[in-house]
Copies of this chain bind each other. A is one copy, B any other.
């Protein structure tokens, strides 16, 4: 896997640890780390799923971040959770990166 130039190797090691830890949780179907523009840094999904999710979810996060700032200019998005009948998408923006976790709620119950 190739990384955007700005990602340092210590950061990558941390990300790999984070992904391994989250993936081991029950019901977790996929974990992705990307930059704010949707460039993939790490993903446990297949290539097609990764690129579809990265594009759509990075755009959505940008939109929601701007909505949060529009409703209150001192405010900032910290976590976005999209629950649907089939699964749950959790997006956690952290400085330059987005951490995305896809979870199947049925397999936790």
Q: Which residues of A contact B (CB under 8 A)?
A: 52-53, 56, 60, 63-64, 67-68, 70-72, 74-87
Contact = CB atoms under 8 A, between A and B. Distances in A.
B78 A80 contact: no
Q: How many copies does the complex hold?
A: 2
A63 B60 CA distance: 9
Nearest to A64: B82
A85 to B, nearest CB: 5
Given A64-B82, A75-B84, A78-B83, 6 more contacts: A63-B63, A68-B82, A68-B84, A72-B87, A74-B86, A76-B85
Contact of A77 (B63, B74, B79, B84): B84
A60 B56 contact: no
A91 to B, nearest CB: 10
Candidate in A68, A71, A83 with the most chain B CB atoms within 10 angstroms: A71
